[in-house]
Amino acid sequence: MNYTQYVFIVTPPEPGTDILIALLGELGFESFVQTDVGFEAYIHSENKVETDINLLSFDDFTFNYKKCEIPKTNWNEEWEKNFHPVFVDDLVCIRAHFHEPQSLVKFDIIITPKMSFGTGHHDTTWLMSKTMFDIPLKNARVLDMGCGTGILAILAKLLGARTVMGIDIDDWSIENSIENAEINQISDIEFKKGDVSLLPKTPQFDTILANINKNVLKNDMASYYQCLNNDGYLLLSGFFTTDVEELRALATSIGFKFEQNFNKNEWAVIKLKK
């Protein structure tokens, strides 16, 4: 499957870049690379989104874009030019194979992304990784919904999860997650292509990790509740701090108990319990 690249110039870049990325995620864009003047965004070429993009207008910033078709390809060459290790406090280092091993953190994770979201640089991945240390994952059955590069599934296994499943709608993400698990010498994570419709066919989970966009989370939250064990945890991210109350209200109406939320810059994570 081919992708289309959209190169956005945002004036001023902040906070316009974060706002646009969140909105484009709702339109189906899968990957984003921030630049000094805005960002690059990638979407399956079959998705026609120009009409929706051109309807966007803001008082605080302006933007323009150009697009080009790109073949199905591995981005590693461009990625390696700009990739730096990501540290989640002294808990986790997310790095590439060409970086030096890190011995001063609890877990040293190697990630080689292709056309997959989740290099660890986005604040939502950082928030999810950090909050996972506050959940009892030892011997747990864990689902990483929208697994991307597999970072969270790999971390769950390193934190002692008994079984881990990763689900994503994209072929590249499944292939990439499998490769990244192998790089980190983890062979027993089950990765499946699909969406929330797979959940009724799976055993119950003790913890569900979902770092996706707000609309998907809203649509799928009731399904997460149904396939979560009592006293199980749901971690949500992929949305702005301004979205927390809306998602909290929906979660509690479904039956979840709201426990905590944490922020990093404009982004948030919510911890819920069944």
Q: Which tens digit of pLDDT belongs to each residue from 37-94?
A: 999 998 888 888 998 999 999 988 999 999 988 766 555 555 555 678 889 999 999 9
Residue 118 has pLDDT above 70, yes or no: no
| Residue 170, domain member (yes or no) | yes
- Among the candidates 58, 73, 88, a domain finishes at 73
Split into its structural domains, the chain has a count of 2
Average pLDDT score over residue span 255-265: 95
**pLDDT value at residue 159:** 97
Rounded to 10 deg, the angle between the 214-226 and 244-254 helix axes is 20
Q: Does 61 share its domain with 129? A: no
Average pLDDT score over residue span 5-19: 91
Task: Tell me which of 57-66, 93-102, 182-191, 245-254 is least confident.
Answer: 93-102
**pLDDT value at residue 164:** 98
**pLDDT value at residue 119:** 59
**Distance between terminal CA atoms of the chain?**
38
| Close Cβ partners of 248 (under 8 Å, ≥ 6 residues apart) | 258, 261, 270
Q: Does 143 share its domain with 248? A: yes
Structural domain harbouring 62: 3-73
Residue 166 has pLDDT above 70, yes or no: yes
- Among the candidates 50, 73, 96, a domain finishes at 73
Q: Does 134 share its domain with 50? A: no
Pair of tokens at residue 37: 């003047």
What's the pLDDT band for 207 if we cut at 50, 70, 90?
A: very high
**pLDDT value at residue 75:** 53
Q: Does 142 share its domain with 264? A: yes
Residue 10 has pLDDT above 90, yes or no: yes
The rounded distance, in Å, linking the Cα atoms of 15 and 169 is: 29
Q: Does 148 share its domain with 18? A: no
Most confident of 4-18, 98-112, 250-264: 250-264
Residue 113 has pLDDT above 70, yes or no: no
| Residue 198, domain member (yes or no) | yes
| Residue 164, domain member (yes or no) | yes
| Residue 30, domain member (yes or no) | yes
Q: Does 250 share its domain with 193? A: yes
Q: What percent of the chain has pLDDT over 70?
A: 92
| Close Cβ partners of 23 (under 8 Å, ≥ 6 residues apart) | 56
pLDDT digit string, tens, across residues 14-35:
888 889 988 998 888 877 888 8
Mean per-residue pLDDT of the chain: 89
Work out whether the CA dihedral 121, 125, 131, 133 comes out positive or negative.
negative
**pLDDT value at residue 81:** 59
